[in-house]
A and B are shown apart, each in its own frame.
Chain A
Amino acid sequence: MIRPFVEALRTFKWEPFRSIDLVEKLGYATGYARNFLSQATRQGLLIAESRKGKREKTFRANPSVVKEIVLKGGKEKEELLEALGLHSRYTGEYVALRGFKVVDHDPDLYRLGERALSDTEAQDQLVITNVGVPRKIVTIEI
């Protein structure tokens, strides 16, 4: 489920898209696209929206899944950060994300933490992580 979600995120970012967009831009079969949209919406990865006067629903990536995926870590986190285009801009740094938005970044984890934690508002949505291998990596020799 995460793979097509990341592909959709890479292609559409946080803009709304339709089932037909998955078929036309990602080459998905119609049935696969519908199945993915239904499952991803149920799992909270996507938000379904009905446009006034339009029969067809649109979908967009749910920003709250960013924190969830980052906290899980591993390959999915790396794929998410790559899909968000962060590898090209912030490799070797730490980033503070609120949803899809980079609110702050720094090569030094503690400097970033100091700034990010001083803003007590919206702390719950904030998530901090590394992009690639940090230039100033934390080292624990145990």
Chain B
Amino acid sequence: MDTGKCWDFKDDEQPPYPVIEVTLSSADRKVTISPKVDTGFNGSVAISRETVRRLHLTPKGTVLVRTATGHRETPIYAVNLSQQDLAVTYTTLAIGTERSLVGRRFLENKTWLLDCKEGRFCIVTRTGASEA
């Protein structure tokens, strides 16, 4: 297995935490953000109010979500999500939250390296030999 693209942990909180760069777009806006990788989030992507504002998004609905402190109703938004190093682009529902996150649904079916010693989060690519 080889290590592909890596992103350095963000250190604006301690201990530092993994992030991944994604590009989100709406009908007429595009932003590139580095959301926290949150394996406690079972969805695809969650976006902060600031990202909602920058993309000029309007809610597509409201859904009940479970948080650490109980249940809460939150807006959902339609966004186009792309990650060029993974070669993925798709339209999905983003959950409106306090901070931007990517969750397990985004991470699933791919291999990742969470390198807390070097402080980096990387895509792992399988070599031909290891696949065989």
B: which residues have CB within 8 A of A? 38, 40-44, 46, 59-68, 71, 73, 75-76, 78, 91-93, 95, 97-99, 101, 103, 105
Contacts and interface: CB of A to CB of B under 8 A. Distances in A.
B97 A138 contact: no
A140 B40 contact: yes
A71 interface: yes
DSSP class of B's interface residues: helix, strand, loop or mixed?
A: strand
The residue in B38, B71, B76 that gathers the most chain A C-beta atoms within 10 A of its C-beta is B76
DSSP class of A's interface residues: helix, strand, loop or mixed?
A: mixed
Nearest to A72: B62
A118 B59 CA distance: 17
A74 interface: yes
A18 B112 CA distance: 63
B64 A137 contact: yes
Contact of B93 (A73, A128, A140): A128
Contacts of A72: 62
Nearest to A124: B58
Given A71-B75, A73-B73, A128-B76, A140 B63 contact: no
Contacts of A74: 73
B78 A113 contact: yes
Contact of A141 (B41, B71, B75, B105): B41
B104 to A, nearest CB: 9
7 contacts: A71-B61, A109-B63, A110-B93, A110-B105, A113-B93, A117-B93, A140-B66
B105 A130 contact: no
A130 B44 CA distance: 17
Contact of A138 (B91, B92, B95, B99): B95
B63 A128 contact: yes
A140 B62 contact: no
Interface string A129-142: 11001100111111
Given A73-B73, A113-B92, A128-B93, A139 B64 contact: no
Instruction: Give the 9 A-B CB pairs with smallest separation, nearest first.
Output: A141-B40, A128-B61, A113-B93, A73-B73, A73-B62, A138-B65, A139-B66, A129-B61, A127-B61
A94 interface: yes
Given A138-B65, A141-B68, A142-B38, A126 B60 contact: yes
A137 B66 contact: yes
